[in-house]
Structure 1
Amino acid sequence: MNDFKQEDALVLFSGGQDSTTCLYWAKKQFRNVQTLCFSYGQRHSQEVENARRIAQMAGVPFRVIDTSVISQLAPNSLTDASIKMDEEKPADSYPNTFVPGRNMLFLTFAAAIAYAQDIRHLVTGVSEADYSGYPDCRDTFIHSLNASLNLAMDKHFLIHTPLMWRNKKEVWRLSDELGVFDLVRNETLTCYNGIIADGCGHCPACKLRNKGLQEYLEVRG
């Protein structure tokens, strides 16, 4: 792995399991780390406040920007509480928790902010190994967008995806290796219904998180 100890990074941060694990991964890889959170009209404001709290615990700068225009672009159950959330992925389409364009817009906003601060490293918690079928979590998308951002801003950004090939069991293992297993387990908010830690237990995010946790605990002992 390249040595980036003399460089800074910007972490796309929601205060959930994945982004919190990425935050602590980044703290070991880079000189200074900042966090960027997005208020995009999600079902619960707790996400932003919990992200702010965890960033404070981690001792890193926190910034939140308003991207609520996303909630006006395409119907989905994460930004429209009137839509009943899919608990399973439909056989012939994406789950209605998919927010079209979200990761592309988040990374574009992050790159613009990083550009202004002469930061070239962006860190995001997307994963192709264990996800809900979202096309904007795929490795090929990240590489494509990385190239587009570099061309658009004439800067050599590097988008880091430390979780890309890790399933949730392996994400739990990584948090343990980083020394933050208990923090991630007890303080993060992954649940789409806004419940910290183990969450509601039945939304897609909770199902993935808790399945991976049980699998990891079985081998952790």
Structure 2
Amino acid sequence: MSVTSQVSEKSALVLFSGGQDSATCLAWALERFDRVETVGFDYGQRHAVEMQARQTVRDELVKVLPQWADRLGADHVVDLTGFGAIGETAMTTERAIEADARGLPNTFVPGRNLIFLVAAAALADRRGLEVLVAGMCETDYSGYPDCRNETIQTMARALSLGLDKPVPVETPLMFLTKAQTWEMAERIGGRALVEAIVEASHTCYLGDRTHRHDWGYGCGTCPACELRATGYGEWVARP
């Protein structure tokens, strides 16, 4: 995980879903890199509203972080619906969210983050972007094994070998709680950035944009909403 505090002359591609974590990562990247592009993945997710939220989040970040607006470049969307159909999980089909036989939540899409990183690395190579930035986190990670630091950094090594060049993967949220993620957003862009993330980003697995909470929109009961709500509550209650 990078802890760089100065602006880098390098360029970055942010894996960008339109959720709280990737929105915070985009702000983090804009603070650090001269040129930043974003990529989203359509894998047939039930909460497809996140794909609609992506552009809104990008637009809002430009408004609240105008000092870095000229660093934000193109957005890309990769069609991975064929891959999503393989998984048939609660993320891609209408079924109750529960634990599977391995004890993993059935919202886990096998290999999703690995596929995302392969696609992102290929796109970055063609676009001349040097660093991948992703929002995986092993502190509040819903039990997904492909969110762990060892998984991501092992994948970074494999990509570096496969592309015959360094493919660094920065994961600024890897060891943070959701409360600390809200704190990071506040540090980068103040309350304006926090409010933009609350209002525009989407996390709810059920795609609920009708119920507005202090922490944003969502059903309030799915695992993603619970993590986001708990983290927000811990953040606002801090001393």
TM-score normalised to structure 1 length = 0.93
How many Å separate the matches in 2 of 1:13 and 1:141? 19
Describe how 1:4-15 pairs up with structure 2 within 5 A: 5-15=8-18
Given the alignment, which residue of 145, 166, 177 partners 2:176? 166
For residues 11-160 of structure 1, the aligned pairs below 5 Å read 11-59=14-62, 60=72, 61-81=74-94, 83-86=95-98, 92-160=102-170
Asked if the contact 1:9–1:32 (Cα under 8 Å) also holds between the matched residues in 2, the reply is yes
**In structure 2, how many angstroms separate the alpha carbons of the residues matched to 1:40 and 1:151?**
26
Structure 2, unaligned runs of 5 or more: 63-71, 210-215
Relative distance call for 1:4 and 1:159 in structure 2 (3 A) is: farther
User: 2-side partners of 1:72 and 1:193: how far apart?
Assistant: 17
What's the offset of the Cα at 1:56? 2.8
* CA contact 2:17–2:51 (8 Å) conserved in 1: yes
- 1:175 maps onto 2:194 in alignment: no
Question: In 2, Cα distance between the equivalents of 1:145 and 1:90?
Answer: 25
Which deviations, in whole Å up to 9, do the C-alpha atoms of 1:156-203 show, x marking residues without a partner? 111000000001111111111112111111211011111342311000
**Post-superposition offset of 1:50:** 0.5
Cα shift readout 1:42-66 (whole Å, capped 9, x = no counterpart): 0133111111221233343211111
- Alignment deviations for residues 52-89 of structure 1 (CA, whole Å, 9 cap, x no partner): 221233343211111111222122100011x2122xx5
Report the 3-state secondary structure (helix = DSSP H, G, I; strand = E; otherwise coil) of the residue aligned with 2:76. Answer: strand
Structure 1 gaps of 5+ residues are: none
Secondary structure of 1:31 counterpart:
strand
Q: Secondary structure at the match of 1:146?
A: helix
**Count of residues in Structure 1 that have an aligned counterpart in Structure 2:** 217
RMSD: 1.6
CA deviation digits over 1:79-124, x for unaligned, max 9?
Answer: 011x2122xx569511000000100000100000000122120000
Partner of residue 219, structure 2: 200
Aligned to 1:191: 204
Aligned 8 A contact 1:35 1:55 in 2: no
Give the 3 Å change call, closer, same or farther, for CA 67–92 of structure 1 in structure 2.
closer
Q: What CA distance in whole angstroms lies between the structure 2 residues aligned with 1:90 and 1:72?
A: 18
- The list of structure 1 runs, each at least 4 consecutive aligned residues, that deviate by more than 4 angstroms after superposition, is 1-4, 89-92
Shift, 1:4, TM fit: 5.4
The 2-side partners of 1:148 and 1:50 are apart by 32
